Amino acid sequence: MSSGLRVVTWNCRRASTTSHLWDYLLELNPDIALLQDFGSIPKRVLDAYAHAANRRSPAADRAPRHMSGVLLRAGTALDLDLPAPAEWVAQELDTWAEYFTAKVVTLPSGAILRVMSVYSPAFPVDRARMELVDTAGIQLTQNRDVWGTELMWATLKAMDVGADDPFLVGGDLNSSESLDWSASKPRGNLEVMERMNALGFRDCLRAFTGQLTPTFRSPRGELIHQLDHLYATAPLSGSLTQCRLGSAERVLQSNPSLSDHLPIVADFDCA
């Protein structure tokens, strides 16, 4: 890969064309943006970026609630199939298709990488649909439900991602081990991260800071949980030069706030 790849992942909290969130995104100047929960994309952004849209997106500049998507400043993007290890996983990936935008990206340098923008909602897969399904091996061992994070993990595992394959997975996973700190018993949040690590993915923000870094401001104004993550395989995590959050002052203290999530900004030296 050529040097100087910047990637941003951000839950945009239904940003419309009039939101100043888009101005800040342009200032962050990513080469690739992995977005979740955006409403509509303004022309000034689409003039600078190609929208590699989710297959459920009704239009290039609009999205229904919680839709994920990928913005690409230069290069091309093709759809990436999401394999499944079981028929019920395939059915749920189709039911939840708007939450998973996966692309094969070719950069201007000719380098090829796979990317996935993921939104794992704060609600699980419908329990009624899971009632007679054998979810063993995919469902978390400490949780009674199946969540978007398990569908994400299952399809990534089915892809059999190699150690030398450059792959980025970013999004609002609604998962943080801090969510288990005050719970009567763990609910599997740490297991989500451990599963990703076992597949060869590393959390870029955790790797760079050495600790959990909160990304989400709760309705009570608390900044405790790292719900947002940017995972990378070794060819990219090994070339990580910086990973930080966007400005809390710009995002959270604007009136109105741009989002209740802070963007993760990662720089890779891929020479």
pLDDT in tens, 55-68: 887 666 666 667 89
Looking from the CA of 80 toward its CB, the CA atoms found within 13 Å total 27
d(CA 127, CA 133): 10
pLDDT digits (tens, 9 = 90+) for 35-52: 999 989 999 999 999 999
Per-residue model confidence (pLDDT) at position 55: 82
- Residue 130, CB-side half-sphere exposure with 13 Å CA sphere: 14
**Quick count: other Cβ atoms within 10 Å of Cβ 27?**
10
Per-residue pLDDT of 179-213, as tens digits, reads 998 777 889 999 999 999 999 999 999 999 999 99
**pLDDT greater than 60 at residue 2:** no
Q: Considering only CA atoms, which of 74, 55, 63 is closest in space to residue 35?
A: 63
- Whole-model pTM: value is 0.96
| Selection from 20, 31, 25, 23 nearest residue 10 by Cα | 25
The answer to whether 232 and 196 have CB atoms below 8 angstroms apart is: no
- DSSP for 186-255 reads --SHHHHHHHHHHTT-EEHHHHHHSS----EE-TTS-EEE--EEEEE-HHHHTTEEEEEEPPHHHHHSSS
Statement: residue 142 has pLDDT above 80: yes
The model's confidence at residue 270, banded by pLDDT at 50, 70 and 90, is confident
CA–CA distance, 210 with 56 (Å, rounded to integer): 37
Asked if 45 and 118 count as a contact pair (C-beta separation under 8 A), the reply is no
Between the alpha carbon of residue 254 and those of residues 19, 117, 233, 245, 251, the distances in Å are: 11, 26, 35, 16, 6
Over the stretch 83-129, which tens digit does the pLDDT of each residue have?
Answer: 999 999 999 999 999 999 999 999 999 999 999 999 999 999 999 99
Only one residue has tokens 């690739």, namely 32
SS3 86: coil
Phi then psi for 190, rounded to 5 degrees?
A: -65, -35
